[in-house]
Amino acid sequence: MARFTLPRDVYYGKGTLEVLKTLKGKKAIVVVGGGSMKRFGFLDRAVDYLKEAGMEVQLFENVEPDPSVETVMRGAKAMQEFQPDWIVAMGGGSPIDAAKAMWAFYEYPETTFEDLITPFNFPELRQKAKFAAIPSTSGTATEVTAFSVITDYEKGIKYPLADFNITPDVAIVDPVIAETMPEKLTAHTGMDALTHAIEAYVSTLNSPFTDPLAIKAIQMVFEYLPASYQKDMSAREQMHYAQCLAGMAFSNALLGIVHSMAHKTGAAFSTGHIPHGCANAIYLPYVIQYNAKDETAKKRYADIAREAGLTGANDDELVKALCDKIDAYNVKLSIPKTLKEFGINEDEFKEKVAAIAELAVGDACTGSNPRAITPAEMEKLLNCTYYGTEVDF
């Protein structure tokens, strides 16, 4: 049985934050990150609106990037003491992801991460609280997805949580909040959104329900990302919606090996973190070349190319045109073409690539990729992304 799940309500448009005034409840806890929401005044505004709704409000601040198990447990404890009937998570992906996990531990204090990591195995939430998510970046779309990633720093592992129970009840997609994104973040999160939509469209779990969302998101990213990057705020508004559509698609169709590779290389090298969206942008054209060796996937990529207004005499030419277009966008957005250009040390890369390949094949996103991959093939593919060589296998 297939299932397609979205938030009950998606509010969108400038100033939509105000809808918090209309939530019905007694107590709300607001979960936020490191301070930008506070600095720009959005946190105060959210708190005021919730008070106007007649709610008692408590804050849970300072959720770190890549939120930890400890933060989740602290948040869950705060919720158990305060007993909110609304959890309002606001900011980049991290506070929203953290709040989703806090929600599960708030309602089920006896549960464990080991219980929760089995995909689609959550206990029934909404026994105590409902969940509203307000994104401040235009990329992860966690405001509409069934996913959350929590890091156990002690064990050095990431728990990817996946269950429709943690799809928020309310998403507030207010483009004014995304206006504060710096340039680089706009570029990276925008390419993350493009990757979500493309991977969802070619995923083995693609469906008539997710396809239109993915295609529209791809068209909008191609149309609006360069101007959004140049700080055109009406383009940025459209990007905020495009990433949300992409999120609706991939929450239901899942992703592929671009994400597997980004997950396992992001923190792998001593030269520093590769931002998630930047890694996706680098890998995407190489993965398209790899996946397009599968006939069904090739047709799907050719569909995308046609819907993006590209032309070609046959599917091979269309796939090539799509890769060229992504390359051109990366150039426009100052995203490097290879891991070498990104600044990863060659000796370190060679030393680690086999182990990374193995981990990437085991990533939760590999299962829905349209073409199967072995660790040896993954190693070859990663080599292509390091040196910028053609994918001919």
Residues that bind Fe ion (CB under 5 A): 192
Tell me whether residue 137 or residue 238 sits nearer to Fe ion (CB atom). 137
Token couple for 207: 């469906």
CB-nearer residue toward Fe ion: 192 or 363: 192
Reading the block at residue 357, the tokens are 């390949």
Give least dist CB 226 to Fe ion, A: 20
Question: CA 319, CA 302: separation in Å to the nearest integer?
Answer: 5
Q: How far is the CB of 383 from Fe ion (least distance, A)?
A: 23
Judged by beta carbon, residue 53 or residue 254, the one nearer Fe ion is 254
**Distance separating alpha carbons of residues 97 and 99, to the nearest angstrom:** 5
The distance of closest approach from Cβ of residue 259 to Fe ion in the complex, given in angstroms and rounded to an integer, is 6
* Cα 167 to Cα 225: distance, rounded to the nearest angstrom: 26
Nearer to Fe ion, 23 or 364 (CB): 364
Contact 166, 122 (CB under 8 A): yes
Antiparallel, parallel or unpaired: β 157-162 and 147-152: antiparallel
* Residue with Cβ nearer Fe ion (57 or 173): 173
CB of 255 to Fe ion, least distance (A): 7
Shortest CA distance to 344 belongs to which of 258, 279, 257? 279
Q: What is the smallest separation between the CB atom of 97 and Fe ion, expressed in angstroms?
A: 12
CB of 276 to Fe ion, least distance (A): 6
Query: 285 pairs with which residues across the strands?
Result: none
Sheet holding 9-12, edge to edge: 9-12, 170-173, 130-135, 86-91, 27-31, 56-60
Tokens of 365: 């996103």
CB of 197: closest distance to Fe ion in angstroms? 11
Question: What's the token pair of residue 133?
Answer: 């998510």
- The residues that bridge with 91 in the sheet, in sequence order, are 135
Are the C-beta atoms of residues 148 and 69 closer than 8 Å to each other?
no
- Nearer to Fe ion by Cβ, of 260 and 289: the residue is 260
Asked whether 78 and 29 are in contact (CB, 8 A), the reply is: yes
**What is d(CA 4, CA 195) in angstroms, rounded to the nearest whole number?**
20
Q: Pick the closer one to Fe ion by CB: 47 or 200.
A: 200
Residue closer to Fe ion by CB (options 131, 250) is 250
Q: Compute the least distance from the CB of residue 222 to Fe ion, in Å.
A: 18
Q: Which residue is nearest to Fe ion (CB)?
A: 192
